[in-house]
Structure formats: structure tokens, C-alpha cells
Structure 1
């Protein structure tokens, strides 16, 4: 299973990050949640800040490009295999940086990938 970091996690059931956390857990993928407010989703605490994390396979973004630059160095330092840019989070500048660092930048929808067994 692919340990996944969700950036932009939310306790709001109407948010796609909330749905993604629940579906990832239901598909057996361990998740780490980072958000602006503490809370709990799918049995996991939402962490605040940029904690020291290990063994992250995938980062899935639920923050817009205007808020991503502060995360560039942190995400690259985690050495994930890939970063998923969900609809509305596409960012050519960050995608280039990831590619230059040997990280796959994938414009896709986490929910769709899970639904078609392509995660």
C-alpha cells in the first residue's frame, strides 16, 4: 500500500480532501494529513505545520498553486515517488521542480484513480 500525505486536509465532509482521506483508508492506504486546523478524518489526526515524515510514497495536493510555493522545499525533502496535482492545483513551475528532483508530477484526481484501481 502507498503511504499518502494529503496536504490541505479538512474535516469538512464536502471537501475533496475529506473524501480522499476516507477513500484512501478504505482502500488500505495509510495516510498522513496536513491542514490548517487540527481535527480528525478517517481515524487520523490532522497535523499542523511541516512535521518530519518518513516513507511517504505519494503526496496528493488539495491546495491551490498560489499557496504551494511555501511547500516546495518541504515536499521535495520528503522524497516521495510522486505528487498528485488534483484538479485546480496544477502548477507547471512546481511540476518542473519535482521532475528535476526525480519525483513524478502527475496531474490527476486521487478519487478517480482510486475508483478505477489505478492509484
Structure 2
């Protein structure tokens, strides 16, 4: 299963980094987009809307305002679901995703992984 971490960072203290670490530890394939290029856990952080293929899950680490520029991009990836981590809740985007038959899940990626519910 391939996961896109949107809002990725090289900062080990951030939840996006910790989620990448946990996904990799659980043998999930991870791709990443952030505001700064870099490497995090051997994953290249892209800074553009890279045309990834085979994305199952997009896990968001962007506040609702910063999500807006990614609406069409995320839909174009045709993920099975989008995870809204704490602080990323966005009812407007939920509706857009539902209209495009993409599941939404309001949950913490780290908790889902830790409890084997991912």
C-alpha cells in the first residue's frame, strides 16, 4: 500500500515525520510532498505536485487553508481514502472527496498504525 504524506518535513519532532517513520516501520511504501526539499528516512520530499501513481492513502498534515491548492491534485491521484489528522479537519473538502467517491477518515495516522487499524 502506498501512502502520500502531504505536509512532510525533515523535522524529527513533527507528527508528519513520525508518521512517515511509523509507516516505513510497518513496511508501507511512502512518498512525500512538503514545502522544503529534503530527505526524510530515505524518502525524497517533493515540493511540487508530483504525479505519483498507485496512491492508496493520502494522509494530511496541512491546515484546511493550505489544503485548498491541493484539492484537484489529490482527486487526480484517485486515492482510496484521505486521512485527516488532528488539526486538518475540513468539512468543505470532505464533501468534494465524497462527490469523487474517495473515502474520508478523520483520525490520527499514528494511532491507526499503533493499533493495527491502518
State the TM-score, normalizing by the size of structure 2.
0.98
1:2-50 alpha-carbon deviations (Å, 9 max, x no partner): 2000000000111000000011000000000100001111111111110
Moved runs in structure 1, 4+ residues, more than 6 A? none
Greater mean deviation of Cα atoms: 41-50 or 56-65: 41-50
How many residues are treated as equivalent by the alignment?
Answer: 118
Residue of structure 2 in register with 1:69 after alignment: 68
Mapping for residues 31-50 of structure 1, pairs under 5 Å: 31-50=30-49
Residue of structure 2 in register with 1:26 after alignment: 25
Q: What 5-or-longer segments of structure 2 have no aligned partner?
A: none
Residue of structure 1 in register with 2:109 after alignment: 110
Residue of structure 2 in register with 1:87 after alignment: 86
Q: CA RMSD in A?
A: 0.5
Distance apart, 1:53 and its partner CA: 1.1
Q: Distance in 1 between matches of 2:76 and 2:91?
A: 19
1:65-102 alpha-carbon deviations (Å, 9 max, x no partner): 01111000000000000000000000000011001100
Q: Distance in 2 between matches of 1:44 and 1:17?
A: 13
Residue of structure 2 in register with 1:13 after alignment: 12
Residue 90 of structure 1 aligns to a residue in which SS?
coil
State the TM-score, normalizing by the size of structure 1.
0.98
Q: Distance in 1 between matches of 2:85 and 2:37?
A: 22
Q: What 5-or-longer segments of structure 1 have no aligned partner?
A: none
Q: Distance in 2 between matches of 1:77 and 1:91?
A: 19
